[in-house]
Chain A
Amino acid sequence: MGQSPSSPLLAKSSSSSASPPRRRSLSSSFPMAPPRTTRTTVQVAGTGAGGGGATAFTAPPPERDLTQDLPDEILTLVFASLSPAERNACSLTCARWKEVAAALPSQRLARLKLRGLRQLSDDGLASLARATPAIRKLSVSSCSFGPKAFVAVLRSCPLLEDLSVKRLRGLPDTAGAATTITEEILFPPASLLRSVCLKDLYSALCFVPLVASSPNLRSLKILRCSGAWDLPLEVIVARAHGLVELHLEKLQVGDRGLAAVSACANLEVLFLVKTPECTDAGIIGVADKCHNCANYILTGGAQIGLGIMASWLWQKDAQTCKSSSLLGSTPRCRASECLVNTAVPWSVSPFVVVRLLAMLRSFAWLSAVLHSRNFASRVAQSQILGWGH
């Protein structure tokens, strides 16, 4: 921050060695700040020279500069509560204010969303990242830069916690080739990165090294990305053991990938949406190994029947499984019988929440379930929404 020569931050330190420097985070709200009120201003008659705004001044202009002794931190605090337009006005008052106000947004910018910036190149994003070292959450969509830009981002923004990438155009075409995950893009380790979301990417596979270089990753979402994901999942899970939440949607992922996922001992939430290659066996494998997994949400897997849930509950999972949702699945007839016949686990796990959404094809089916061995009384909460036709 530019310290103007006249601004005696120095005077402060000389006057009181004990006085603390103001380096508080600017995002802190003003706890004492009263709500904005309309202040009555006294119109001074006869001072028409300055135009409308100037006449509203209640006091004559001061003799001295009323800002010179304010350290930059204080000015920043003042500017922080102004709107961008008002801040613009401030930055045009004098050179020092311009510097302070200009330094304001980027240095403490924590969340950045880039959308539809077709002209932004890799270098552009890199220089942007250099100017915004405090970014914690970055979300890009429909932009044209490539994965190399993220190397620069990870390097310049060590605080990055949350990365979301959607519909990038500049990615190399690696669709379908699982071998490309070893491509030589050296992503620096991102130790704070906790959440990654990849969505609608033709070549999300080139982000696999990035994901794999984040040892503290907790949440991973991969939606509608092309390519075979079994091998990449193995690579990711091998390095990021701490996954808590995994969301896979419309992916080419099969039981091999699920077997890799089952190595995440801390997994709590597993979304599997439209992953037709996953079979009952794969999911039972996950259920067997991930004992913490309390939420399973499975949707529309052609080969996943309701039998799956029944099997979990039948097995050891009943105690930990808090919520299982089967959304819009196409349960086979056999599956419903399965559920009816697994009344024993219901009594074991009174906290099970079962949501059966848009999957119930017949009422008779449901009544059979409800009448089976006090289902309703044992299940603490059952939500049955979105009736089938």
Chain B
Amino acid sequence: MAAGKPVVMVTLVSSDGQSFQLLEEAALLSAMVRDTIQIGQGRGPAGIPIRNITGQTLSMVVVYCNKHYTAAAAADGDDAADEEKKVANKKQLREWDEQFINLEQDKLYDILVAANNLGIDGLVDLCCWRFADMMKGKSASEIRVKLGIRDDFTSEQRAQIEKDSPWVWSRTT
């Protein structure tokens, strides 16, 4: 894949001090890393400190980046390959994504926040999809329980909603 090019590694350091090494190209999936490297930082041995993201979450993000980098590199490598193979590869990657993101809400939330902070669009979309999938077919109270949201409607707001659209409470709460 990266035949002629020198292999450049980047170190990401999580908030709790764990460090992860990965190929620079893989790390470049993150807009934040891209910008950091562009201004000439982060290549040193100290690595790039990622605040607010724990080692556990970062490890998942790194797995995602590696996988997607490898898949993209493979697709680039045999660009002359037939369409069918490409479609199959894409499908495979999608299945992998699906497996990867099949997490409980806690971890999913951490990864989503991390992906947003790091600016990894693909991962954000994936997490959003999973989040939405989680909420499908649930009532408001069920969503509240699942995501630990506090019901902060005041009684006036509640009355207002009831007045504006009396049907919604009965159907969805």
Give A residues with C-beta under 8 Å from B: 11-12, 15-16, 18-20, 22, 24, 30-37, 39, 50, 53-54, 57-59, 61-67, 69-71, 74, 77-79, 81-82, 85-86, 88-90, 92-98
Contact = CB atoms under 8 A, between A and B. Distances in A.
B148 A62 contact: yes
A278 to B, nearest CB: 50
B78 interface: no
Interface string B32-74: 1011100100000000001110000000000000000000000
Nearest to A35: B94
Interface residues of B, number: 62
B163 interface: no
Contacts of A59: 104-106
A58 B136 CA distance: 15
B32 A18 contact: yes
Contact of B125 (A30, A70, A94, A96): A30
Contacts of B102: 39
B102 to A, nearest CB: 7
B159 interface: no
A247 to B, nearest CB: 39
Interface in B143-172: 143-153, 157, 161, 168-169, 171-172
Nearest to A71: B116
A15 B138 contact: no
A89 B135 contact: yes
A92 B148 contact: no
Interface in B86-112: 93-95, 97-98, 102, 104-106, 109, 112
Contact of B142 (A33, A54, A94): A54
Contact of A95 (B121, B126, B153): B153
Query: Interface majority SS on B: helix, strand, loop or mixed?
Result: helix
B133 interface: yes
B116 A78 contact: no
Contacts of A61: 145-146, 148
A31 B126 CA distance: 8
A82 B132 contact: yes
A108 to B, nearest CB: 15
Contact of B35 (A15, A18, A32, A54): A18
A131 to B, nearest CB: 15
Given A59-B106, A69-B109, A69-B113, 8 more contacts: A20-B32, A32-B126, A65-B150, A74-B112, A78-B132, A85-B171, A89-B138, A93-B143
30 contacts: A11-B52, A12-B117, A16-B51, A18-B36, A19-B119, A32-B93, A32-B125, A33-B94, A33-B125, A53-B139, A54-B142, A59-B104, A59-B105, A61-B146, A62-B148, A66-B105, A67-B149, A69-B109, A74-B112, A74-B124, A77-B128, A86-B135, A90-B135, A92-B140, A92-B161, A93-B144, A94-B144, A94-B151, A95-B152, A98-B153
A1 to B, nearest CB: 15
A89 B172 contact: yes
A30 B122 CA distance: 8
A85 B150 CA distance: 21
- Most B CB contacts (10 A, CB to CB) among A31, A58, A74, A93 go to A93
B116 A12 contact: yes
